[in-house]
């Protein structure tokens, strides 16, 4: 996939350092501060609708993606190749984090930052844990396009690469959250990285979906709120990524991304 995140729409999404703390148990998502989409953005929780189609079986078809930041189509082959290539770097990150836990002298600054984010989540439980991980990652990473950072149209960084730079685009936020939640014990069947088409901004985007109490929740770098997947309307899922690889998704509801 080329240029998942539109940098022009993304550059103002970084939260201020005074952003509110994540939701407490039972609190309403509307009580959590949203990140502005622009300097004049409406800071209310988006009014979210539902979508309704079944998950499509794995295929290599090009999916209609709308107008992306570079007007390119996203293909199954592109996404699958990037996800597969990333796995070796995720394993290297796992080794570096394990070495850091065993010996502080072996820690890089990026590994320290990663373990600090994981430890923030470990001290909480349930939905509150998800909120803290979402906020911790959103606060730790500065939004920068891949062109500006790597000179590439699209590069999927590992968590330690993202934290070493302190910057990334939407899929880098999502990868970091996905890996942190995996380390915190979220079951593989309850965790997905989802590539969506943002029909509101006409760009591709990446989010994390987590199943909690039989309900799918969305972690997004654009907001501190934890969103209910069944309410999403302007995010049209295209690809679901997990430990089993990559699957294509038609206009499926985000709360049904695990159907096989």
* Intra-chain end-to-end CA distance of the chain, in Å: 23
Structure tokens at 76: 């199954």
pLDDT in tens, 210-233: 999 989 999 999 999 999 987 777
How high is the pLDDT of residue 90? Answer: 98
**Region of poorest pLDDT, from 17-26, 57-66, 76-85, 103-112:** 57-66
The whole-number average pLDDT for the span 147-160 is 96
Average pLDDT, the chain: 75
Kindly indicate the confidence band of residue 73, based on its pLDDT and cuts at 50, 70 and 90.
low
pLDDT of residue 233: 79
Average pLDDT over residues 98-125: 96
Strands 203-212 and 74-75, sheet pairing? unpaired
Share of the chain above pLDDT 90, in %: 56
CA torsion sign for 44, 194, 15, 181 is: positive
* Nearest CA among 16, 23, 68 for reference residue 212: 23
Q: Which of 121-125, 197-201, 216-220 has the weakest average pLDDT?
A: 197-201
Quote the DSSP letter at residue 67.
Answer: S
Closest CA to 132 of 242, 12, 15, 24: 24
- Provide the pLDDT for residue 250: 53
For residue 117, is pLDDT > 90?
A: yes
What is residue 232's predicted lDDT score, i.e. its pLDDT? 76
What band does 5 get if pLDDT is binned at 50, 70 and 90? low
Query: Which is more confidently placed, 31 or 10?
Result: 10
Q: What is the CA radius of gyration of the chain?
A: 17
Domains and CATH numbers, the chain: 7-256 (3.10.620.30)
Give me the pLDDT at residue 193, please: 97
Determine the pLDDT at residue 4.
Answer: 55
66: left (phi over 0), alpha (psi -120 to 50) or beta: left
User: Residues 179-205: what's their mean pLDDT?
Assistant: 94
How many helices (H) and strands (E) the chain has is answered by 7, 10
């Amino acid at each position: 996939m080329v240029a998942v995140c539109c940098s022009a729409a993304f550059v103002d999404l970084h939260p201020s350092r005074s952003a509110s703390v994540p939701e407490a148990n039972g609190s309403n998502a509307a009580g959590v501060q949203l990140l502005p989409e622009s300097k004049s953005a409406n800071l209310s929780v988006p009014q979210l609708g539902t979508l309704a189609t079944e998950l499509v079986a794995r295929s290599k078809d090009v999916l209609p993606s709308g107008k992306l930041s570079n007007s390119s189509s996203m293909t199954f082959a592109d996404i699958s190749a990037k996800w597969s290539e990333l796995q070796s770097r995720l394993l290297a990150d796992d080794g570096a984090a394990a070495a850091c836990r065993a010996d502080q002298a072996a820690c890089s600054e990026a590994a320290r930052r990663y373990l600090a984010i994981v430890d923030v989540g470990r001290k909480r439980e349930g939905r509150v844990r998800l909120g803290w991980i979402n906020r911790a990652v959103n606060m730790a990473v500065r939004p920068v396009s891949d062109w500006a950072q790597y000179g590439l149209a699209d590069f999927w960084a590992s968590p330690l690469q993202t934290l070493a730079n302190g910057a990334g685009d939407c899929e880098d936020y999502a990868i970091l959250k996905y890996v942190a939640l995996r380390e915190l014990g979220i079951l593989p069947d309850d965790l997905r990285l989802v590539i969506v088409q943002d029909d509101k901004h006409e760009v591709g985007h990446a989010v994390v979906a987590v199943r909690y109490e039989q309900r799918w929740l969305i972690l997004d770098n654009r907001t501190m709120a934890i969103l209910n997947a069944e309410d999403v309307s302007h995010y049209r899922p295209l690809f679901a990524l997990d430990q089993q690889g990559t699957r294509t998704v038609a206009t499926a509801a985000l709360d049904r991304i695990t159907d096989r």
